[in-house]
Structure 1
Amino acid sequence: MKPRSKRLLLLGSAGALLIGAVALVLTAFQQNLVFFHTPSEVAEGKAPQERAFRIGGLVEEGSIMREDDGYTVRFAITDTAHVIPVTYRGSLPAMFQEGKGAVVQGILGEDGLFRATELLAKHDENYMPVEAQFALDQAHKAQQTVQY
């Protein structure tokens, strides 16, 4: 084989390996990518079906109910415009309370119930995810517009 042919073969093999590695990284990234949606977006059907995503907002007052098994909790997340029912199985963060901010990650069922696999509670008085704060502000503005 000529040196030129060897170089072309080597470059072609390296290019194929690089393309394969990039494809694997992009596939893994796509599978682990989790988007954030507001309760209003979920109610409008903008959230993915049969794929994990996050919902953020406030835990609705009076919505926390514990199941008999002691590990399952039902509650509702709201952005003051729409309410999404959530079920979560696991230990609750100490800061998880009604009227406080929370972000849940999981899958929305066909019945409209969000089955959370992860629950993050607001950790101090100043913390609110940027997306959740924006959604709450937008919902509050929409309510004020309707009232006048």
Structure 2
Amino acid sequence: MKARNKRLALVAGGIVLLGAAVALVLSAFQQNLVFFHTPSEVYEGKAPAGRAFRIGGMVEEGSIRREADGLTVSFAITDTARIIPVSYRGTLPDLFQEGKGAVVQGTLGADGRFTATEVLAKHDENYMPVEAQYAIDQAHKAGMTVQQ
């Protein structure tokens, strides 16, 4: 084999390896990509089925219910237009409370209940995710009423 053919084979092999590495990185990135949706978007079917995503809004007043095991909590997230029931098993953040902003990550079940794997609460009295604030503002402008 000539030196030129050897170089060509090495370059081709390098390109194949680089392509494989890029494909693996993009695959890992796609699997870890988590989108944010409002309760209204979830109700409209815009959220991905069978895939993890985030819902943000306000914790509905009077919706927090704790199970006897002490770890399972159910509550509702609202954007003042729609309400999504959420169940979570784990320890809630100290700042998590009714009427305050929260973002939950998990999956939506066939029954419409969101099963959260992570709950994020506000960090001060002025905090609300930008997307959640926008959704609440849009719901107020549209004059929507809260519906389940």
Class of the TM-score when normalised by the shorter of the 2 chains? over 0.9
Q: How does 1:1-148 map to 2 (within 5 A)?
A: 1-143=1-143
CA distance in 2, matches of 1:139, 1:40: 9
| Local SS of the residue matching 1:42 | helix
Bigger shift: 92-101 or 124-133?
A: 124-133
In 1, Cα distance between the equivalents of 2:132 and 2:6?
57
- Aligned pairs, number: 144
Q: Shift of residue 126 of structure 1?
A: 1.7
Tell which deviates more after alignment, 135-144 or 28-37: 135-144
Shift of 1:128: 1.3
Tell me, which stretches of 5 or more residues in structure 2 are unaligned? Answer: none
- Kindly provide the amino acid, as one letter, of the partner of residue 137 in structure 1: D
SS at match of 1:46: coil
Q: Deviations over 1:78-98 (max 9, x none)?
A: 000000000000011110010
TM-score by length of 2: 0.95
| Residue type of the alignment partner of 1:131 | E
**TM-score using structure 1 length:** 0.95
Amino acid in the other structure paired with 1:107: T
Q: CA deviation at 1:137?
A: 1.0
**C-alpha separation in 2, matches of 1:16 and 1:88:** 44
1:61-89 residue CA offsets vs partner (Å, 9 max, x unmatched): 00000011110000000000000000000
The Cα of 1:132 is off from its aligned counterpart by 1.1
Deviation at 1:121, TM superposition (A): 0.4
Between 80-89 and 135-144, report the one with greater CA deviation.
Answer: 135-144
Deviation of the 1:142 alpha carbon = 1.1
Gaps of 5+ in 1: none
Q: What secondary structure, in the 3-state scheme, does the structure 2 residue paired with 1:110 have?
A: coil
- Tell me how far 1:100 sits from its aligned partner: 0.1
Q: Residue 94 of structure 1 aligns to a residue in which SS?
A: coil
Identity between Structure 1 and Structure 2 (%): 76
Alpha-carbon distance, 1:133 to partner: 1.1
CA distance in structure 2 between the aligned counterparts of 1:75 and 1:83, rounded to whole angstroms: 10
Deviation at 1:51, TM superposition (A): 0.4
**Quick one: which amino acid aligns to residue 55 of structure 1?**
I
